Amino acid sequence: MAVHDNPMSQPEANRKLAAILSADVVGYSRLMGEDEQATVATLKVYQQAISRVIERHKGRIVDAPGDNILAEFPSAVEAVYCAVEIQKVLEGRNLELSAERRMEFRIGVNLGDVIEDEDGVIFGDGVNIAARMEALADPGGICISSSVYDAVEGKVDFGYDFLGEQQVKNIVKPINVYRVRTGTPSPHSSRRLALSGWHLALVGLAAGLALGAAAIWLALGPRAPATETTVETEPPPSIARPYLLVGQLIDLNGLSANAGRVYGQAIIDSVNWINANGGINGKPIDLDTAETSYLVPRAMAAYRKWQTQGVLAIQGWGTPTTEALTKFVGEDRVPFFSSSYAASLTDPTGQYSGRATPYNFFYGPSYSDGCRGLVQWAKNDWQTRGETRPPRFVHVGENHPFPNAPKKACAAYAEELGFEVLPSISVPMVPGDFHAECQRLQEAAADYAFLANTDASVSALLRSCRDTPLNTQFMSNIWGFDENVMKTAGAVADGVVWVMAAPKWGDEVPGMYTVQEVSKMSDPGGRKYRPVHYIRGVCSMFYLREAMEWADRNEGLSGPNIRTGMYQRTNWVPEGLEGVCSPATWTPEDHRGINRVLVYRGHVNGPTNDADVQTLIDNGTIVLERIFSVDIPRRPEWLGL
């Protein structure tokens, strides 16, 4: 960064106190050396995003030479909040890039005396120290000077690590430096955590002994099961703070990574859009993302951290993870919006299933209802064919919580509709050579096969069955099939039907404009095609947004109040998403919010190897056709099953 060291040549300059933010790209020379054109394009997009955040926090960009940004603020508080939001926004955008192409910034903030010339350029030690703070920051991190720390302590709701005195270039005296811990509350903050008494004691220890507190948490052992009685006790105090902590679990590298990246990006983009459009009644969301690789221990570790931070709600991922956390979020009264649609999560009182899930919500039909919808479509299809014998139905999937979730309920409904239910066929979730499983399908002579695994396994099975003569109609669960499966599987994906819970990208419905504006948070040019899972992620976050807004207006933000906010409307569609999100109704007795099942058929009309999904969609090689819709009745005996 060009640092101006000689202000004395500016006779008309004005001296003032200002908060200075300095940001710089990490490894910019390496990125330019590897791909100059792509680096410049990414930098321009990131600079535009940073500029919008600076403007929201009442700042002004003073200079932006090369990969640097220098901005000033009238308040140290706004400068620190801005720095944190910049890193959160860029963290989300970097998920769109491969690891070696991600562009991380260091940020430094200083509060000091500066000189401003008639052109608005600022000079002096106040600027120099901000640049030195930036150089001390970690990639993706923030360092502040002691003058900033003194100004924001007790006002800005983050933790800090004291890095000691640092001797910095061109500054005579050493400077005390602090690292901002954006995901951890300051021990000096006035934040009141929405936790039980023993949790509060733990948080007190965590202020000075974070590792010891974590060990104590692990040693406390199991707690009493969640019941409706415990849920309805006096709610914890609402939380008054400028940033609202929402956790996000995401799978970028595990068994469900293909869909996980798409859905996770939708949550990140939605939060950035919400913050850019006023947040929650003026309060921005702090989305803390934890990558789990579809592994329960990683999700549990993230939850333990959030638990000590007073997390308001969580956007979850994965059936195993959701099942593992259900007991804890019920006890701690943390609304948990999952991408798992297991019917076991829909019985808030436990009256029918025997397990209360008062704080679990999800957008979409349950896995059981989705399969019931497919079976209804299959019955109609069988009748259209003019067949007289009972159709044969088989469940195909691993013995695993995700594929097992709808297994019994769907088989029972298939029998009720007159199907012959065959013994299930086991197929691993991990993709492999499934020729033997295809042979078993052929021997079973199933007319309709429900593919219950995740998309990578489904794609591998379809490819393996390419050369096996089958007269089986494949039907997939909501996470098992999408445009990417059609591309990777090619012609063998032609004719597969599957469950949807929202229209496809680009459909002419009123709310698609909002979805596409949300997408621009990580794709400013609006050129990226978003697979079907993206839209459900947007819907999930927008329902949470409106529940949080209601809670904030009614006794304050807390887990129980957000939960109550979920019960305020019937046939509810979030504002701006009309025609995109299916009408939803959640009640204190029934969390089957969505009972509408949309069934689509995939068409593959040519080779798919040599083009991306966007091109295949545009030229008609891949077509997604809506063929059936049904509202599954909310039978009492199906609650939780």
What pLDDT, in 10s, does the model give residues 542-589?
999 999 999 999 999 999 999 999 999 999 999 999 999 999 999 999
Of 147, 181, 215, which one is at a domain's C-terminal end?
A: 181
Of 181, 209, 240, which one is at a domain's C-terminal end?
A: 181
Give me the domain span that covers residue 495: 367-505+597-637
As a whole number of angstroms, the distance between CA 58 and CA 84 comes to 15
Is 261 strand, coil or helix? helix
Residue 465 is assigned to a structural domain of this protein: yes
Residue 343's identity, in one-letter code, is A
Q: Is 205 exposed, middle or buried (0-12, 13-18, 19+ CB in 10 A)?
A: middle
Q: Which residues in 8-67 belong to E strands, given as ranges?
A: 14-25, 60-63
Of 148, 181, 214, which one is at a domain's C-terminal end?
A: 181
Residue 193 is assigned to a structural domain of this protein: no
Residue 497 is assigned to a structural domain of this protein: yes
SS3 content of the chain, % helix, strand, coil (to 5): 40, 20, 40
Smallest Cα–Cα separation from 183: which of 313, 288, 35, 333? 288
pTM of the entire predicted model: 0.72
Looking at residue 166, which CATH number applies to its domain? 3.30.70.1230
Residue 540 is assigned to a structural domain of this protein: no
What pLDDT, in 10s, does the model give residues 444-473?
999 999 999 999 999 999 999 999 999 999
CA 415 to chain centre: 37
DSSP single-letter state for residue 26: T
pLDDT of residue 66: 85
As a whole number of angstroms, the distance between CA 291 and CA 253 comes to 8
Alpha helical stretches, state H, 190-335: 197-208, 210-219, 228-231, 257-276, 296-307, 319-332
CA 241 to chain centre: 22
Query: Residue 219's pLDDT band (boundaries 50, 70, 90)?
Result: very low
Looking at residue 385, which CATH number applies to its domain? 3.40.50.2300
Smallest Cα–Cα separation from 3: which of 107, 125, 109, 174? 125
The structure tokens 């966007």 sit at 614
| Domains in the chain, number | 2
What pLDDT, in 10s, does the model give residues 121-175?
888 888 999 999 999 999 999 999 999 999 998 887 688 888 888 877 777 788 8
Determine contact, residues 92/37, Cβ cutoff 8 Å: no
Lowest mean pLDDT among 291-305, 432-446, 476-490: 291-305
Residue 519 is assigned to a structural domain of this protein: no
Residue 532 is assigned to a structural domain of this protein: no
DSSP single-letter state for residue 234: P
